[in-house]
Amino acid sequence: MKKAAILFGLLFLINVAELTAQQRSDAALQTRIETTVRRAMEQRHITGLAVGVIKNGRVIYSKGFGVYKLGGQKPITTRSIFHMASVTKLFTATAVMQLAARGKLNLNAHITDYLPYFHLRDERYKSITVRQMLRHTSGMPDVDDYGWDRPEYDAGALERYVRSLMNLPMNAAPGQRFEYSNIAFDVLGDLVAKVSGESYEDYVRRYILAPLRMMHSTLLLREVDAGQLTTPHVSDQQGNITVSEVFPYSRIHAPSSTLYSNVEEMNRFALANLNLGQLGGRRILKASSYEQMWRLPAGVENSEEFPFGKVGLGWFVYKYRGHRFVGHAGADIGFNTFLLLAPDERSGVVVMGNLYPGQENYLPTGTFYTANIARDVMDLILH
């Protein structure tokens, strides 16, 4: 009995020592992360920022920096809500893959099989597949005018937008080449709505946000807690920062752009994807779906270009310093976001900012400040 007690005591001390060592390691890493983030904020004159960091499947850091509004005193916190811009596309891709896994749609089917009213000026539109839209190889152009200054709020806005595309040209034959298209993802959102029988926003809430307990995240601006919503800012070519005159919202672009979330809940989305579709006993997607989403098509080599490598299904896929990464960037007037995952290391970084930088802040590769921060923080985690 005495020997057992001594053994138990020794094991307890060993566990405490290991825990203390882990805590010291985490604290040192957190200090380095914070130094990196604050340096970037000073260099880029970023108004407000939220950063979440996951290492080995654990959230080790989550913090807000800066303020909600230029000239104000209200500090950004981990519950501050940002417009996620094109990171929203990951939720649309998840919804499409959910429906495909349930046998509700076929990725290789023509989009017109599900949306017979979808029509472009170029007759080649008839051969566009769901998979090509997810991979940005549909041949469709990108949005010229988002109409953020003319928002549409009604439930019929998305279908009306898809029907309005009848005079839109195509830039290439379906499947011919990569060409990023927000329009294609807006059409995919309408696909989700018609196949599921409910609005795109309701579907995402029911099958993605609710299971992941992302209770403060929404695609509908009217549901956002106004007290937590950050203010959008823009900078001109000289770096002068002002509050944006318009707010980026319209239901016609919900599937490509209008998720509103905070860093705490985006950490949960990141964890679910690192866990191949599950979190807290709830599964949002089959593990086999990730093999499709994070796989490049045959003959396409992985890219060392950061952060925009080659595209899988909804996700960008690339290598950086010998590691495999998947992720997505977001940039709309007033906001800048990035989600970066290292699946093999079960690590990730979420960065959300309420400043849309002027072109002088962009690198030749198209990288912007949230991507730079995510990359630098990921370097700290992995090296």
Q: Which residue has the higher pLDDT, 28 or 119?
A: 119
Range of the domain at 362: 35-382
Handedness of CA 161, 355, 216, 292 (dihedral sign): positive
How many structural domains are present in the chain?
Answer: 1
- Give the span between the Cα atoms of 135 and 107, in whole angstroms: 11
Asked whether residue 85 is assigned to any structural domain, the reply reads: yes
Check: pTM over 0.85? Answer yes or no.
yes
Host H or E run for residue 339: strand 335-342
Q: Find the mean pLDDT for residues 316-339.
A: 91
Q: Find the mean pLDDT for residues 145-149.
A: 94
Could you read off the pLDDT of 51-105 as tens digits, one per residue?
999 999 999 999 999 999 999 999 999 999 999 999 999 999 999 999 999 999 9
pLDDT of residue 17: 56
Asked whether residue 9 is assigned to any structural domain, the reply reads: no
Within the chain, where are the H helices? 2-44, 89-101, 130-134, 157-163, 182-196, 200-204, 254-257, 263-274, 287-293, 369-382
Instruction: Give SS3 for 123.
Output: helix
Could you read off the pLDDT of 176-227 as tens digits, one per residue?
999 999 999 999 999 999 999 999 999 999 999 999 999 999 999 999 999 9
pLDDT of residue 2: 64
Asked whether residue 23 is assigned to any structural domain, the reply reads: no
Asked whether residue 3 is assigned to any structural domain, the reply reads: no
Pairing assessment for the beta strands 260-261 and 335-342 based on DSSP bridges: unpaired
Could you read off the pLDDT of 265-320 as tens digits, one per residue?
999 999 999 999 999 999 999 999 999 999 877 656 655 555 556 789 999 998 88
At 360, is the pLDDT very low, low, confident or very high (cuts 50, 70, 90)?
very low
pLDDT of residue 296: 78
List of residues 6+ apart from 160 with CB closer than 8 A: 152, 252
Asked whether residue 18 is assigned to any structural domain, the reply reads: no
C-alpha distance from residue 153 to each of 79, 160, 184, 208, 224 (Å): 25, 12, 20, 22, 14
Asked whether residue 2 is assigned to any structural domain, the reply reads: no
Instruction: Give SS3 for 163.
Output: helix
Asked whether residue 343 is assigned to any structural domain, the reply reads: yes
Q: Are 33 and 51 in contact (CB under 8 A)?
A: yes
Q: Is the pLDDT of residue 263 over 70?
A: yes
CATH number at residue 225: 3.40.710.10
Asked whether residue 24 is assigned to any structural domain, the reply reads: no
